[in-house]
Structure 1
Amino acid sequence: MIPLSPQPLQSPAGHRTSGGGAMARRLGGGRYYNPEFRVETVKVALGRQAVSDRADLMLATTLGSCVAACIHDPVRGIGGMNHFMLPDLPASELEGAGLAARYGSVAMERLINALLAAGAERGRLQVKLFGGARVIDSRYDIGGLNSRFALAYVRAEGLTLTGQDLGGASARRIHYFPHDGRALRRLLRPEAVADTVTRERHLLSDLRRAPADGTVELFAAPPEPEGT
């Protein structure tokens, strides 16, 4: 587990692996209970985004050449994560159901819009970027393209970049707490990297044949009872 500079990113105080490695409990809908952090966890898959203001919820994803942006409003106490495979939406997908948030240009816009709709303010948004490793053997450095796109997008939109862990040759697993913006990253073991590369290769080959809907999932805290 390696903290990300410039801000130290670490696991929450008191959250330790329980019972010598207890198994995660599946909750359905891509959610599970993480026994290490003792929180409900939402898996953010390729082409998906999730937004929440819950202090008891964590977002998680696994990245090879893909990039995830974790965006947070510290005043509103809300944040979100996306996960995209390629930088730009091709002209062939500008119409119809092919409009997919697996492309960075769509994923970033949708995540930011979802945060703003939930009460965040654009001027307060803080961004952390992860992923973009060179794990796929190709003449194109897909991870590098994704990383450069994400950094350029943050600069062009005038957003505040508070941390980045991009590039290299290792796949990563990201744990993100959207309520307070904390994040940590773990490099994957070689056997897990192979699984990630295989999955990304299949997704890349299917990219034009299997559109993703790019829905932003909202996981909000329950409303306060009246009269409190």
Structure 2
Amino acid sequence: MLTTQRRALISARLARDGEIVAKRLADELDLSEDTIRRDLREMAAEGLLKRVHGGALPLVPPLPNFAARQEIAGDVKRRLGRKAATMIEAGQTIFLDGGTSNAEIARSLPREMRLTVVTHSPTIAAELERHEAEVILIGGRLYKHSMVATGAAALAAIASIRVDLFFLGVTAIHPAHGVSTGDFEEAAVKRAILKQAADTYVLATAEKFGAVSPHRVAGIADLAGFIVAEEIEDGVLAPYDDANIAMIKA
């Protein structure tokens, strides 16, 4: 097999499976593992993939900072936020993760609705200033990139709270590798919240599907469902059909 053919195959497998295991691919192609590792090194040097121990992962584009993300897909995020808000009932305790999509949930909540909103995002807490909702703001070390609290203090506070709904923010969604994000500490906080929630939903824009970020939060089956834009093509969502979770379109 020519080098160009191997590289094309590697790219296709990354898109399909979300990872390359060098030994497995070498055995499949009846090639030496060194040959595959060399291909992966060269492709990584050209910015085509990310090398990891034993293989490779797809590249995840650098995430824009919080201010920049507020300008991305604003109309879609507003629709998703409004749909999510209709799923919330008076008297519930909900947890809003950080992120620009979840900020739209806070903006869409009826101001007179009485419920408890827990969040570790000061920006989301500020959105609820004029609402009747009780707001519990989790503290800790501020991860400025996402404007959320992380660390031991945040984890300890989260462990004492049980919530009805958790709206989880992630940067990548993959049928085999689950939902993931780019920061180690932030991922740990998200996992802790998920354990305290009866149901967890993700507001998901199209570019997140089929991607993998470095730090796994949960498997697809750990979620209750996704809230997605109605114009997302069925082919993008098809790999999740067997996961037995809701795909709620907005």
After TM superposition, the score normalised by the length of structure 2 is: 0.27
After TM superposition, the score normalised by the length of structure 1 is: 0.29
Taking CA–CA contacts closer than 8 Å with sequence separation of 6 or more, which of the two structures ends up with the larger relative contact order?
Answer: 1
Hey, which of these two has a bigger chunk of helix by percent? 2
Could you say which structure has the larger radius of gyration? 2
